[in-house]
Amino acid sequence: METLKTRLRAGTRDIVFRQAKRLARVVGVDEELRRLRDRVTELEHEVQETRRLHQRLAELTDVVTEVLVPAADREDDKIRAILAKYNRTSF
């Protein structure tokens, strides 16, 4: 009889131990999922910032092209107008 009780206790401990390990894995997965979601949000913000900087660089490239490309009818007023437009739309 004592052997049966000992086996049942050992079996119960084994079941509890396995369930505890399973629960720990689930908790770890939840934590990892939360960290991954936070990282995705952070990366989305970084992508938006990169897009904004690329847009600004493209606008600046357009301004430089307008100013530096030689043209026969280049006028100082035209250059000032282009730079003023860039200054208004740039941050």
Write out the chain's pLDDT in tens, 91 residues.
Answer: 567 667 667 667 777 777 777 877 777 777 888 899 999 999 999 999 999 999 999 988 888 877 776 554 566 777 778 778 877 877 6
Please give the residue range of the domain that contains residue 77.
Answer: 2-89
Residues 56 and 90 sit within 8 Å (Cβ to Cβ): yes
| Model pLDDT, residue 51 | 96
- pTM, two decimals, is 0.50
Helix or strand run (H / E) with residue 71: none
3-class SS of residue 19: helix
- For the chain, how many structural domains are there in total? 1
